[in-house]
Structures are given as structure tokens and as C-alpha cells.
Amino acid sequence: MLRTIYPGSFDPVTYGHLDIIERSCKIADELIVGVLNNNAKMPLFSVEERVKMLNEVTCHLPNVVIEPFDGLLVDFARQRKADCIIRGLRAITDFEYELQMAQTNHKLGAEIETVFLTTNIEYSYLSSTTVKEIAAFGGDITQFVPEAVRRELNEKMKTKRRV
Ligand code: PNS
């Protein structure tokens, strides 16, 4: 039984994340999508909102569970008895940060491996930050995020414009 964790901020989940989730859950018996609950990162969406959107867009995947976490990722992985951490690599620019994170996690918990999946080339340019910027300026984000996320993001931007 292979239990894996795919951690991230998912602020909000994009088609790039969803591609990694769908491919990971073919490899793993159980995939836990760990949603970082860290207000220091000043997320646009609360952790509850991010978990809700992830639940909606992964409801067709029976071996995926969505869970918020705070604190160290290796502690969460140990607590959930996960064998490995999955991360997506989009481009060489991701590599330095991902390598540093994987090596730090290895120092903190050598029993938990980090496995990288290269992002589908179709989504290699895509990030939550870019999607939020396009939405903030009223651009069309249909090709970047699932419908449920598009709705939530557009609503959030409307609320922000009102304040
Ligand atoms: O989607 P992101 O923001 O690139 O995900 C980053 C995440 C959540 C994987 C990373 O910030 C994380 O693991 N945070 C938990 C704190 C931790 O364990 N830090 C030590 C490893 S660098």
C-alpha cells in the first residue's frame, strides 16, 4: 500500500495541480492532498475555501483525500503514515526551490522520499499567482482553472473590488 502526500498552497487549485493529482493517484493507492494552512503566506482564499474547491474538482477520484495541515510537512507526513511526498516540476526555475525543500525534508525525515513529476507541457507556464493576476484584471481564466474555481475566484475578486 503506497500512501503519498501532494502538498501545496493551492491558492487556488489550477489545471496544472489537477494534472499532477490525476497522475499521482494512478501511481499511489492513496493520495492525500495537503493544503497548507499558513496565514503568513497571506493566501487569497482561506484554507476552508481551498479545501472545498479541491474537494469539488477531485470528486471523480476515489483514492484522493483533501486535508489541511500546518507546521512541518514531514510531521504531517509521519502523522498520516505517508511513504512519500509528491511535487510537480514545471521548469528549471522551479528546480532550485524544490531541491532545497526536498533536501531539507530529507534531513528532517529521511524515511520520507520526495518524488517529482514533471508537469504536463500544456501547463508548464501556469501558476496560481498568474491566474489570480489575470482574474484581478477581469481576464478570462477558463482555460487555466476548473469551472468551480473560476466561479469562486471571480466572486472573490468582485468582493475585493467592493472593499
Ligand atoms: O504550493 P507551494 O506554496 O509551493 O507549497 C509549498 C509547501 C506547502 C509544500 C511548503 O511551503 C511546505 O511544505 N510548508 C510547510 C513547512 C515546512 O515543512 N517547511 C520545511 C520544508 S522547506
* Span from the CA of 8 to the centroid of ligand 1 (angstroms): 6
Give the pLDDT score at 163: 64
Q: Give the position, in ligand 1's atom list, of the atom nearest the Cα of 69.
A: 15
pLDDT tens digits for range 96-106:
999 999 999 99
Instruction: Return the percentage of the chain with pLDDT > 90, whole number.
Output: 92
Can you give the pLDDT at residue 39? 80
**Cβ neighbours of residue 75 under 8 Å, at least 6 residues apart?**
none
Output the residue whose Cα is nearest ligand 1's atom 9: 8
Mutational test site, ligand 1, from 101, 105, 129, max ligand atoms within 8 Å of CB: 101
Q: DSSP E strands: which ranges in the chain? A: 3-8, 30-36, 64-69, 84-89, 113-118
**Residue count of the chain:** 163
**Closest residue to atom 6 of ligand 1, CA basis:** 8
Sign of the Cα torsion 140, 86, 70, 60 reads positive
pLDDT tens profile 114-142 = 999 999 999 999 999 999 999 999 999 99
Which residues have CB under 8 Å from 109's CB, separation 6+? Answer: 74, 77, 78
CA distance 21 to 36: 16
Q: Separation of 55 CA from ligand 1 center, angstroms?
A: 20
Domain 3-124: homologous superfamily in CATH: HUPs (3.40.50.620)
- Residues 37-58 pLDDT 10s: 988 889 999 999 999 999 999 9
Lining ligand 1 with CB less than 6 A are: 7-9, 36, 72-73, 101, 104-105
For 67-101, write each residue's pLDDT tens digit.
Answer: 999 999 999 999 999 999 999 999 888 999 999 99
Domain segments of the chain as ranges: 3-124
d(CA 13, CA 49) in angstroms, rounded, equals 11
pTM above 0.85, yes or no: yes
Q: Which ligand 1 atom is at minimum distance from the Cα of 73?
A: 18
Residue nearest to atom 22 of ligand 1 (CA): 101
